[in-house]
Amino acid sequence: MTYKATLRYLYSKLPMYQRVGKAAFKKDLTNIKKLCDLLGNPQEQFRSIHIAGTNGKGSVTHGLGAILQQTGLKTGLYTSPHYKDFRERIKIDGQFISEEEVIHGINALKPAIDEFKPSFFEITVALAFDYFAKQSVDIAVIETGLGGRLDSTNILQPILSVITNIGYDHQTFLGDTLPLIAGEKAGIIKEGVPVVIGETHPETQDVFIEKAATCQSAIYFADQHFTTTNVQQTWEATKMDVEVDGQVLYPHLVSDLTGSYQLKNICTILQCAELLPDLSIPYCRANAMDALQKVRSSTSFMGRWQVLDCDGPTIIADSAHNVDGLQMVLSQLDSMDYEQLHMVFGAVKDKNLHPVLSLLPTDARYYFCKAAIPRGLPTSVLSSLASKHRIEGQSYASVDAAFQAAKENAGEKDLIFVGGSIFVVAEIL
């Protein structure tokens, strides 16, 4: 089959959570274990770092990956979902898996697909693990898909576990309280493997401490040791000093991870990096500072506070889609200088949108849209829900139509923000 035919086969044969929602989610590790057994357990053939969390997983995965690449290690990255091309999920040193490797890998898995009907995510995880093993990566940074304890990636035995933060998202699967959600994420903590927690929260701190104690794992809360000061931001970069226990160890650090919320992620990345020598991985702070200047270009990172145009009107896309993520993004928008805010906004239909909509500014101009996936929320429903929060706007037949309308209406000193869903962002990148 051709690459396009292979993807059609995958999408038609396997339920994909990002497209159809709950029907595709399998809260069980049986299938991924079967798949990896069939492939000779590739996940045991390379070192890995495993990353979970409600927000920031992708940024931390790519930032840490950039540092490992800069160190000279052949570095695999597995992330999800993808924006434009399926191959974005599986990268080595920033280069996507080839179309030929995808075709070959899926063909090898077809008997298993027919026999026990795994999910789309289970197949992509198995494909990634097999590819990394065959390419003899030195290390792979693996992002969970949903949760942690029963996520398909959780058959790994990593050298380091990372949990960025805990917030409300996917409550149907993970629980409706922060301690319950934290318990699911804490499922990636392994016996004797150190764990980094990005952010301390009074409701979840003890969950992680108790799990780490049970596993006899050293635990590090990044925000208890790392702080950023003297922060200066431009469209292209953020400059800062990073203090570790009160001492500036990363002076004048510049990163292309822009957006104020990335300051927390950078602290988490550097806490992980400081542990690398204890994990038999060489580490140099100067290399880390070099790597963080070019995370986007070296790892093909996209979709988070991505500035698409700053020559008027300014256009920014960000795939934050839950309360915690959007709070940080909206706080960043509030700090910026513009005349009128235009919001190209869409959502998925299996989430409680009222907490999200309650955050949105009522003085923005809204362009409601639906991403071209079955899980997308119809604009008629979105508009009705939004009106209950005094948010009014026009509905459009497609993301592109909404985006074009925003560009036509926006003045030179205005700001266009595209978001609400990764799938909305994907259609304009």
Decide if 190 contacts 215 (C-beta within 8 A): yes
Decide if 288 contacts 70 (C-beta within 8 A): yes
Query: Domain boundary at 299, 326, 347, which?
Result: 299
Q: What letter does residue 223 receive in the DSSP assignment? A: G
Query: Domain boundary at 299, 318, 347, which?
Result: 299
Token look-up 């000093």 returns 241
Sign, Cα dihedral of 17, 109, 80, 204: positive
CATH number of the domain within which 34 lies: 3.40.1190.10
Our count of domains for the chain comes to 2
User: In this structure, are 343 and 287 located in the same domain?
Assistant: no
**Residues with Cβ < 8 Å from 12, sequence gap 6 or more?**
none
- Per-position DSSP letters for 230-296, written without gaps between them: EEEE-SS-EEEEEEETTEEEEEEEEES--STTHHHHHHHHHHHHHTGGGGT----HHHHHHHHTSHH
User: In this structure, are 51 and 179 located in the same domain?
Assistant: yes
User: In this structure, are 318 and 224 located in the same domain?
Assistant: no
Structural domain of 192: 3-299
Decide if 153 contacts 53 (C-beta within 8 A): no
Residue 192 φ/ψ region, left for φ over 0, alpha for ψ in the -120 to 50 degree band, beta for the rest: left
The predicted pLDDT at position 169 comes to 59
Query: Domain boundary at 299, 330, 360, which?
Result: 299
User: In this structure, are 277 and 385 located in the same domain?
Assistant: no
User: In this structure, are 331 and 295 located in the same domain?
Assistant: no
Q: Would you give per-residue pLDDT tens digits along the chain (429 residues)?
A: 899 999 999 888 776 544 444 554 556 899 999 999 999 999 999 999 999 998 899 999 999 999 999 999 999 999 998 999 999 999 999 999 999 999 999 999 999 998 988 888 999 999 999 999 999 999 999 999 988 999 999 999 999 999 999 877 545 556 568 999 999 999 999 999 999 999 999 999 999 999 999 999 999 999 999 999 999 988 889 999 999 999 999 999 999 999 888 999 999 999 999 999 999 999 999 999 999 999 999 999 999 999 999 888 999 999 988 888 899 899 989 888 999 999 999 999 878 899 999 999 999 999 999 999 888 999 999 999 999 999 999 999 999 999 999 999 999 999 999 999 999 999 999
User: In this structure, are 170 and 228 located in the same domain?
Assistant: yes
CA pair distance 253, 371, nearest whole angstrom? 37
User: In this structure, are 234 and 353 located in the same domain?
Assistant: no
Q: Is the peptide bond before 194 cis (omega within 30 degrees of 0)?
A: no
Q: SS3 of 198, please?
A: coil
| Cβ atoms within 10 Å of 80's Cβ, excluding its own | 22
CA pair distance 427, 419, nearest whole angstrom? 11
User: In this structure, are 145 and 180 located in the same domain?
Assistant: yes
User: In this structure, are 183 and 295 located in the same domain?
Assistant: yes
CATH number of the domain within which 362 lies: 3.90.190.20
User: In this structure, are 336 and 371 located in the same domain?
Assistant: yes
User: In this structure, are 279 and 345 located in the same domain?
Assistant: no
User: In this structure, are 287 and 310 located in the same domain?
Assistant: no
CA pair distance 48, 77, nearest whole angstrom? 10
Beta-carbon-side half-sphere exposure of residue 93 (alpha carbons within 13 Å): 10
